[in-house]
A and B are shown apart, each in its own frame.
Chain A
Amino acid sequence: MNRKWIIPFFMAIYLPLLSGCWSSHELKDLAIVSAYALDKNEDGTYVGTFQLINPMNVPGALQGGASGQNPSIATYTATGGNPLEVSDNASTKVSRDLYFAHTSLLVISEELAREEGLATILDAMERGLEFRTTTKIVISRDMKAGDFVQVLTAIDQVPAEKAIKSLEFTEKLYGENVATDLQKFIKAAVLKGKEPLVSGFTVEGDIEKAKTMEQLQSSEGEATIEVNGIGVFKEGKLMNWIEGDKNEGTLWVLDQIQQAPVNIDWDDKKAAISYKVVRQKTNVEAQTKDEKPVISVHIRAEGDLRVIEVPVNVTDPHVIFRIEQALQQKIKDEAEAAIHEAQKTKTDIFGFGEKLHQSDPDSWKKLEPKWQDVYFPALDVDVTVEAFIRRTGMRNNPYLFNLNKKSD
Chain B
Amino acid sequence: MSYRKFLKKMKPKEQREDFKKGEPKSIGTSITENLNIIKQKTGNSPDIIIRMLTFSHDPGVSTAIVHVDGLVDNPTINEFLVQSMEDSVQEKLEEKDLFKVFSEKVVAVSSLETLKDWDSLFLALLSGDTVILADGKNEALIASTRGGERRLVEQSDSEITLRGSKEGFTESINTNTALVRRIIKNPNLWVESMNLGKQTNTDLSIMYINGIVDPDTVKEVRQRLGRVDLDAILDSGYIEQVIEDESSGLFPTVTHTERPDAVAGNLLEGRVAIFVSGTPHVLVVPAVMIQFFQTPEDYYVRFPISTLIRMLRVFMFLISLIGPAFYVAATTFHQEMIPTDLLVIIASQTESVPFPAIVEALIMEVTFEILREAGLRMPNKISATISIVGALVIGQGVIQAGIVSPAMVIVVATTAIASLATPNYDIAISARLLRFAFMLSAAIAGFYGIILGLIMLIVHLTSLRSFGVPYLAPFAPLELKSLKDTIIRGPIWSFNERPESLHPQNPVRQGKHQKPLPPLKRRMVRADTKEGDKNES
Contacts and interface: CB of A to CB of B under 8 A. Distances in A.
Interface string A325-343: 0000000000000000000
B303 interface: no
B286 to A, nearest CB: 23
A55 B348 CA distance: 4
Contacts of B1: 2
B347 A30 contact: yes
A15 B402 CA distance: 33
Interface in B135-185: none
B470 interface: no
A19 B445 contact: yes
B343 A62 contact: no
Contact of B446 (A24, A32, A104): A24
A64 interface: yes
Contact of A65 (B336, B340, B351, B444): B351
Q: Chain A interface mostly helix, strand, loop or mixed?
A: loop
Contacts of A34: 340
Contacts of A25: 332-333, 335
A204 to B, nearest CB: 27
A365 to B, nearest CB: 42
B452 A15 contact: yes
Contacts of A30: 335, 347
Interface residues of A, number: 34
Contacts of A27: 331-332, 335, 343, 346-347, 350, 357
Nearest to B441: A15
Contacts of B332: 24-27
B349 interface: yes
A58 interface: yes
Interface string B315-339: 0000000000000000111011000
Contacts of B340: 32, 34, 102, 104, 161
A190 to B, nearest CB: 26
Nearest to A28: B350
A6 interface: no
Given A15-B445, A102-B343, A23 B348 contact: no
Nearest to A102: B340
B226 interface: no
Q: Chain B interface mostly helix, strand, loop or mixed?
A: helix
Interface in A147-161: 158, 161
Contacts of B399: 63
A185 to B, nearest CB: 21
B477 interface: no
A61 B347 CA distance: 9
A54 B406 CA distance: 18
Contacts of A60: 345
B493 interface: no
Among B346, B349, B446, max chain A CB count under 10 A is at: B349
A258 B343 CA distance: 31
B392 to A, nearest CB: 18
Contacts of A158: 344
B336 A102 contact: yes
B265 interface: no
A149 B333 CA distance: 28
B444 A15 contact: yes
B356 A26 contact: yes
Interface in B423-458: 441, 443-446, 448-449, 452, 456
Among B344, B347, B357, max chain A CB count under 10 A is at: B344
Nearest to A57: B348
Given A26-B332, A55-B344, A102-B340, A61 B444 contact: no
B352 interface: yes
A130 B333 CA distance: 12
B351 A55 contact: yes
Among B402, B406, B445, max chain A CB count under 10 A is at: B445
A61 B348 contact: yes
B448 A19 contact: yes
A26 B357 contact: yes
B1 to A, nearest CB: 6
A61 B449 contact: no
A56 interface: yes
18 contacts: A15-B449, A16-B445, A20-B444, A25-B332, A25-B333, A25-B335, A26-B331, A26-B332, A27-B343, A27-B357, A30-B335, A30-B347, A55-B345, A62-B349, A62-B406, A64-B352, A65-B351, A102-B343
Sort A-B residue pairs by CB-CB distance and give the 10 closest, nearest first.
A61-B348, A101-B336, A55-B348, A55-B347, A19-B445, A102-B340, A16-B444, A27-B347, A61-B345, A24-B332
Interface of B: 1, 331-333, 335-336, 340, 343-353, 356-357, 399, 402, 406, 441, 443-446, 448-449, 452, 456
